[in-house]
Amino acid sequence: MGKKSRMKREAAEVRSHRSVASVRVPPRVLVEREPVMTQDEIQVALAIELHDQVEHLRLLKLNDEPFSHPDNQHKIDKTFKPMFHWLDEQERTGESDAMPDGTVILQPEGETEWYPVADAFRSVADTYELVAKDQGVEFDGEGLRKLANMIDYGMPLTQREVDAARKSLAWMKSVTLLLTPTEFSNFTTAIMTRQTLVEMGIL
């Protein structure tokens, strides 16, 4: 074979290698298919969804049942238990948790948030004053409001003030049994709206 023929063949082989190397083959994409549910799994999923919908409707209906309803009574404890507990601690030790600036605070059991005691007590008293007017009953929450004011001014509390506040809370709890969660929510919303308007200087 001549020298020129050999060079031509080698050049052809190089071009062949280059053309093969320049061809890019796209990666193979594997499409994952959703697992097919069996008939039993479908029935279980539908049963769970139906149960969740029924439970949601039940809870909505409970909002229009009075707090005296067995399934609503735990909501009363959630509201009043921290306040009664704070009064119990005052009787037992006379001590309170406070912020560095002296603001007296409480932390309901099972929660992570702390709340100013005076503001909380005063807000509750304002709410039940509105409830009393709406229900046409005499307001008996001044004991709690007076306690809140004394806390604000850093005045020492005596057994007399603690007893009066406890009496106010007992009256509020009894009134609550006649309300529904929806009604109570409307009262608290009205009080919060009024406080906001006061802070804005509108009222």
Tell me the backbone φ, ψ of residue 74, rounded to 5 degrees. -65, -25
Is the distance from CB of 177 to CB of 77 less than 8 angstroms? no
Q: What percent of the chain has pLDDT over 70?
A: 74
Average pLDDT of the segment spanning 140-145: 97
pLDDT at 144 over 60: yes
38-54 pLDDT, tens digit each: 877 777 776 677 666 65
Pairing of strands 97-98, 115-116: unpaired
List Cα–Cα distances, 118 to 25, 36, 106, 202, 203, in angstroms. 74, 59, 10, 23, 21
